[in-house]
């Protein structure tokens, strides 16, 4: 019984160490471009980095897509339900 508990604890500790190692070695997020400007009166609700794009969802129900230089490339209006 004690041997089984010891094995379970060692495996659990090993799993925690492995998860921490994988998470801490993950690549860092790209830097937010200095020139990103939201439309007047909008507040960011979510920000996502996708390859060479920055996607921002605003409280106005818009999805703003910025290029790597911070220039607004596309605006998509979400259906407000």
pLDDT digits (tens, 9 = 90+) for 18-41: 999 998 887 777 777 778 888 899
Architecture of domain 2-77: Beta Barrel (2.40)
- d(CA 35, CA 37) in angstroms, rounded, equals 6
Render pLDDT for 36-63 as a digit per residue (tens, 0 to 9): 888 899 999 999 988 889 999 999 999 9
In the predicted structure, residue 2 carries a pLDDT above the cut 80 = no
Percentage of the chain with pLDDT > 70? 95
Whether pTM exceeds 0.85: no
The pLDDT value recorded for residue 74 is 95
Contact 12, 5 (CB under 8 A): no
Alpha carbon distances (Å) from 35 to 31, 70, 78: 12, 5, 24
């Amino acid at each position: 019984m004690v041997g089984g508990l010891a094995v379970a604890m060692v495996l659990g500790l090993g799993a925690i160490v492995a998860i921490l190692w994988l998470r801490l070695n993950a690549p860092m997020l790209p830097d937010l471009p200095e020139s990103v400007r939201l439309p007047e009166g909008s507040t960011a609700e979510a920000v996502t980095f996708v390859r060479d794009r920055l996607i921002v969802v605003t409280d106005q129900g818009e999805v703003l897509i910025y290029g790597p230089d911070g220039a607004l490339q596309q605006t998509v209006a979400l259906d407000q339900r």
